[in-house]
Amino acid sequence: MKLMDTGERKHFELRLRKQYGVENPFEDLVLLAAGRGRVRATTKEALEVAKKLRRVQQAGVYIAKISKEDVILSIEGSQVLNGKITKSVLDLDEESAEKWMRAEVLEVRGKYEGKYVVGKCGDLYLGSGRITRDGKLYPQVAKWRRIPVE
Amino acid sequence: MSNLMMSGDFRECLSRIPDLDPELFLESCKRPLPEGFRINTIKSSEENVLKRLRQKGFVFEKIPWARYGYILRDGGELGKTLEHMAGLIYLQGPVSMAPVEVLDPKPGEIVLDLCAAPGSKSTQIAQLLENMGVLVANDVNHERIKALSSNLQRFGVINCVITLTDGRKYPRFARGFFDKVLIDVPCSSLGIISKNWGIAKSWSLGMVERLSRIQYQLLEAGFNCLKPGGVLVYSTCTLTVEENELVIDRLLKNYKNAKLEDIRLPSLKSRNGVVEWSGRRLNPDLEKAVRIMPYDNWAEGFFIAKIIKEVGGNEVNGYR
Ligand SMILES: C[S@@+](CC[C@H](N)C(=O)[O-])C[C@H]1O[C@@H](n2cnc3c(N)ncnc32)[C@H](O)[C@@H]1O
């Protein structure tokens, strides 16, 4: 387990502000660099406890992947941030949310600034999806989190 | 279940389980277990999730002994819903929710789940901690740890640490460290035969003896990791005395500061732990433990004991 250094954390938070309009994203949480741009979040207390233990595999939850200049939020990442995401939110009805969770390609209308949006159905955030120039949306749902297709 | 499908040892073992009604037991082995689930209050409110499920046509009933727990009565496969995949619910047998209710973790506590994979009880502990305090979830099995890690992720547990080690080694670095400890040990699984009939076929007394030894070692390790004043819950999904009362009896003999406490689980049918078995007198406090037969609630069979580590007092009695 490796703590994200201050520079990396600043860069990450800056991206979050630009991409998703998030201010003060994680307050008291500790961010961990989990390799290949992946970020995990946990509490200070959990980190203190982890220091005492042996054979620690991981702590907290996986919240995002930083890919070049973009931040791709996991389902839990978007839920940790929930109320704070003010930009690039795509409201989904129940049917599109189901499609999102099957990682089906969706069509989007309207303009979005960046390459990524966050899917939201009611009060439920579902992580990031990638938008292409021709208005297609690819939900970035990990395979093991997808609703199985019959 | 036909006689052919049971090993000889297994038949012999059934006859040694106190108070077991063999007819009802075999009947329970044929019936499918009820499908239970918990609402994840870390991610959403109970009302919101119930509303979503009702809108999708699911019919369910509240479980009286487990907060946020429900039994599915109708409506289809919950495991294939958005609610499951997004981590708003967790599928778990209704009786399997009882041990954590007995442990009753409180926000701010540091809790160890020593044999945690795949994480049903860990996620339940996490939700009762309400993101305050720390859950430490350990298991020795590399493959099963992956499922544990996925389930804690899906459930959104931020305040958790996962370790991969033999639980028996835990006191080497975490002696007296935890407020609460859950020891949900590997066992012969007699209480969930209807899930897996192979259990009855591959049964052997040797296996029970082996398990009993490791169960005691894990229990002792867990007890040593408790702070004075801390609470430990020992649970199995099996019914043999060797894996349940005898394990606890040995701890009570070896540790004067280990005391059994009463267990209250509203509306869950159960019976007291046994205090005499096979001509042996066991610690009379063992009646405070609970045994749950699969046919008591037509659900999983379980054994649960709640142990307090008294403040002060001599740790080891000196005859192990
Ligand atoms: C009954 S299962 C636990 C179920 C889990 N508590 C739950 O609710 O999902 C028992 C677990 O104990 C683990 N185990 C077996 N020997 C162990 C040991 N020496 N140390 C730690 N875990 C062990 C097994 O890998 C298995 O995952």
Q: Report pLDDT digits (tens) over B195-204.
A: 887 777 777 8
Mutate to test the pocket of ligand 1, among B111, B124, B140 (most ligand atoms within 8 A of CB): B140
The span from the CA of B153 to the CA of B277, in Å, is: 44
- B290 belongs to a structural domain: yes
Strand B178-184 and strand B110-113: the pairing is parallel
Altogether, the residues listed in chain B come to a count of 320
**Containing domain of residue B168, as a range?**
94-309
pLDDT band at residue B3 using 50, 70 and 90 as cut-offs: very low
**Domain containing B190 — which CATH number?**
3.40.50.150
Mean pLDDT of A82-102: 95
- B240 belongs to a structural domain: yes
Which pLDDT score is estimated for B2? 46
Percent of all residues in chain A with a pLDDT value above 90, rounded to a whole number: 86
**B63 to chain A nearest CA, in Å?**
25
Percent of all residues in chain B with a pLDDT value above 70, rounded to a whole number: 96
Spacing of C-alpha B233 from chain mean position: 8
Helical H runs in B32-163?
Answer: 46-55, 82-85, 98-103, 120-129, 142-155
Which pLDDT score is estimated for B262? 98
H or E stretch at B28: helix B22-30
Report chain A residues whose CB lies below 8 A from the CB of B165. Answer: 54-55
Q: Which residue has the higher pLDDT, B314 or A54?
A: A54
Helical H runs in chain A?
Answer: 6-20, 44-52, 75-81, 94-101
Q: Report pLDDT digits (tens) over A67-91.
A: 988 999 999 999 999 889 999 999 9
Structural domain total, chain B: 1
- B167 belongs to a structural domain: yes
**B99 to chain A nearest CA, in Å?**
23
User: Contact A50/B133, CB-based, under 8 Å?
Assistant: no
User: Contact A45/B134, CB-based, under 8 Å?
Assistant: yes
The pTM (predicted TM-score) of the whole model is: 0.96
Mutate to test the pocket of ligand 1, among B92, B112, B113, B115 (most ligand atoms within 8 A of CB): B115
Q: Which residue has the higher pLDDT, B193 or B226?
A: B226
- HEC string for A93-112: CHHHHHHHHCCCCEECCCCC
Q: Which residue has the higher pLDDT, A99 or B199?
A: A99
- B142 belongs to a structural domain: yes
- From the list A53, A62, A145, which residue is nearest B163 (CB)? A53
**What positions of B carry a catalytic annotation?**
237
Whether residue B123 has pLDDT greater than 70:
yes
User: Contact A144/B110, CB-based, under 8 Å?
Assistant: no
The span from the CA of B18 to the CA of B94, in Å, is: 23
Percent of all residues in chain B with a pLDDT value above 90, rounded to a whole number: 87
- B32 belongs to a structural domain: no
For helices B245-254 and B205-224, give the axis angle rounded to 10 degrees. Answer: 40
Mean pLDDT of A113-124: 92
Q: Report pLDDT digits (tens) over B229-282.
A: 999 999 999 999 999 999 999 999 999 999 999 999 999 999 999 999 999 999
Question: Contact, B152 vs B119, CB < 8 A?
Answer: yes
Whether residue A109 has pLDDT greater than 90:
no
Residue B160, chain A, CB below 8 Å: the answer is yes
Whether residue B318 has pLDDT greater than 80:
no
Report chain B residues whose CB lies below 8 A from the CB of A122. Answer: 48
Rounded to 5, what percent of chain A is helix, strand, coil? 30, 35, 35
Q: Which residue has the higher pLDDT, A24 or B134?
A: B134
Mean pLDDT of B55-63: 97
Whether residue B138 has pLDDT greater than 50:
yes
Which pLDDT score is estimated for B315? 54
- B88 belongs to a structural domain: no
Mean pLDDT of B285-313: 96
pLDDT band at residue A110 using 50, 70 and 90 as cut-offs: confident
Q: What residues line ligand 1, using a CB cutoff of 6 Å?
A: B 114-121, 138-141, 144, 166-168, 184, 186, 218
pLDDT band at residue B143 using 50, 70 and 90 as cut-offs: very high
Altogether, the residues listed in chain A come to a count of 150
- B183 belongs to a structural domain: yes
Mean pLDDT of A100-127: 92
ipTM of this complex: 0.97
Whether residue B4 has pLDDT greater than 70:
no
Mean pLDDT of B64-89: 97
Give residue B210 CA to ligand 1 midpoint distance, Å.
Answer: 15
- B233 belongs to a structural domain: yes
Which pLDDT score is estimated for B5? 63
Q: Report pLDDT digits (tens) over B229-240.
A: 999 999 999 999
Whether residue B126 has pLDDT greater than 90:
yes
Query: Which domains are present in chain A?
Result: 2-145 (3.10.450.720)
